[in-house]
Structure 1
């Protein structure tokens, strides 16, 4: 009765099921794991002390920037150098620009420091940075990319303006080595508003987190659907063979030719 399971057709069906079900379960578990990671990161962020209450660590000790070090207070000493404006940045529902100044350290490398935000179109050179040697403490941020939230295209910007805060965007504009990170200070200069730290990508209970949860359900449903279809095909095959053995299947009469 069940020898049909050894036919080439059913070998193909069985092989598909054996491969598809574990794959669907694996993908569902992976998506569930990503959702759980986001839940954990959300809890950690909710329970963490405000940046202003955390102890600042040397910048080099927190690099490279990852999900754990992003937003942590970092301290670095140096002298302010070149300054740029970063246009089309939104804060509290208003559009304005960042004032970004490069802090050149004793080692020769420079770190971009966002000294604050100002509403309106980016014009001029922005408020001057403090002169002389300074120690800056700010929230550590990973370099932006062209796909980061709030980032606009780089092309067509006037001289002295920057679209993406990243070493790759600054490397051809300044004659010194750059850190692949940037800082935003909690206390801005006069006339500027402090820019809050941005949560690292793929963390927190945002829309993508619940997309991961939805994908989890979809993959488990796919696995159940594969098993359901296999059982349905199996049952139909068994019933058809039983009917054939009982003589209940009648071949359709052949139509005369011509």
Structure 2
């Protein structure tokens, strides 16, 4: 009944369904991988964000070679800001609002220089491409508590003088003209002494996994539905062939064309259409002759 499935047309449909199901499986797996990456980031937030600050001496290695497991770890640093080399980072939205972030090198007591991200500023109204006002960093010695963040890659686009396209610490080091720690920077939490005004502090990162798991299940379901649809279409095709008499038994083994249709010669007549000799009811004389023959007359 399902011999037509071996035709080129139906084999082509099967190959197409397999290809579409493979794409759905790939997209589902990709969503699960994204979920795993987000869950890992959430794990670092939950483990490090509210931890007690560690001295710079214990975390110094992270600024030279960043370890993802240390992201968001609070670090306590003491030094003085190099406000002459302050930079504004462009295109830094916050809660849907465009703005900037303020970077300042902090020169520590041992001579090391670490970049501190002091916070966010909205776009200005007075001059295009600049915030209206940048709060000054505290002068003199300051103790900063900042959370570890990895340096960002360089971008192809440029930036005006005094600005950076991203937190590319290698480019920042080139502009300052002295060594900076280029593997990580500090996202400021507190400063002591505390200034009267400061850029807006970065909010705590979200710990929401997002819809990636449900998206993955949807893609897997779509892949399965392709096969369900193909099976339903095959069943309908089989029933249509039975109702139209195209799927009757044949005298000999059948040949099939590329479209799944039976090919037969005049000698191969379906049993359904083979002429049948009707039996005639015997006459009265024939019945009497049969009785006499049975009695031996």
Give the structure-2-normalised TM-score.
Answer: 0.57
Q: Flag the 1:142–1:95 CA change in 2: closer, same or farther, 3 A.
A: same
The answer to whether the 8 A contact 1:59-1:74 is kept is no
CA deviations over 1:161-196 (Å, ceiling 9, x no partner): 445332254244222344132113332242343764
The answer to whether the 8 A contact 2:149-2:186 is kept is yes
Q: Secondary structure at the match of 1:71?
A: coil
- 1:36 Cα deviation from its structure 2 partner: 5.5
The answer to whether the 8 A contact 1:84-1:101 is kept is yes
Q: Flag the 1:80–1:238 CA change in 2: closer, same or farther, 3 A.
A: same
Instruction: State how many pairs are aligned.
Output: 233
Are positions 1:55 and 2:16 aligned together? no
The answer to whether the 8 A contact 1:185-1:195 is kept is no
Q: Could you say which structure has the larger radius of gyration?
A: 2
Q: Secondary structure at the match of 1:101?
A: strand
Aligned to 1:139: 147
Q: Take 2:26 and 2:46, find their aligned partners in 1: how far apart are those partners? A: 30
Aligned to 1:185: 188
Q: Take 2:72 and 2:164, find their aligned partners in 1: how far apart are those partners? A: 22
Q: Take 2:95 and 2:3, find their aligned partners in 1: how far apart are those partners? A: 70
The answer to whether the 8 A contact 1:186-1:196 is kept is yes
The answer to whether the 8 A contact 1:111-1:183 is kept is yes
Q: Take 1:192 and 1:166, find their aligned partners in 2: how far apart are those partners? A: 26
Aligned to 1:160: 162
Q: Take 1:142 and 1:30, find their aligned partners in 2: how far apart are those partners? A: 24
Unpaired runs of at least 5, structure 2: 125-130, 249-297
The answer to whether the 8 A contact 2:25-2:223 is kept is yes
Q: Take 1:83 and 1:64, find their aligned partners in 2: how far apart are those partners? A: 23
Q: Take 2:97 and 2:9, find their aligned partners in 1: how far apart are those partners? A: 64
Root-mean-square deviation (CA, aligned residues, Å) is 4.4
Q: Take 1:93 and 1:224, find their aligned partners in 2: how far apart are those partners? A: 38
Q: Take 1:34 and 1:124, find their aligned partners in 2: how far apart are those partners? A: 37
The answer to whether the 8 A contact 2:48-2:71 is kept is no
- 1:71 Cα deviation from its structure 2 partner: 1.0
Give the structure-1-normalised TM-score.
Answer: 0.64
Q: Take 1:83 and 1:94, find their aligned partners in 2: how far apart are those partners? A: 26
The answer to whether the 8 A contact 2:103-2:116 is kept is yes
- 1:224 Cα deviation from its structure 2 partner: 3.1
CA deviations over 1:23-73 (Å, ceiling 9, x no partner): 42353244245336535654663565624x243432324664465322112
Q: Secondary structure at the match of 1:186?
A: strand
Are positions 1:126 and 2:127 aligned together? no
Aligned to 2:215: 215
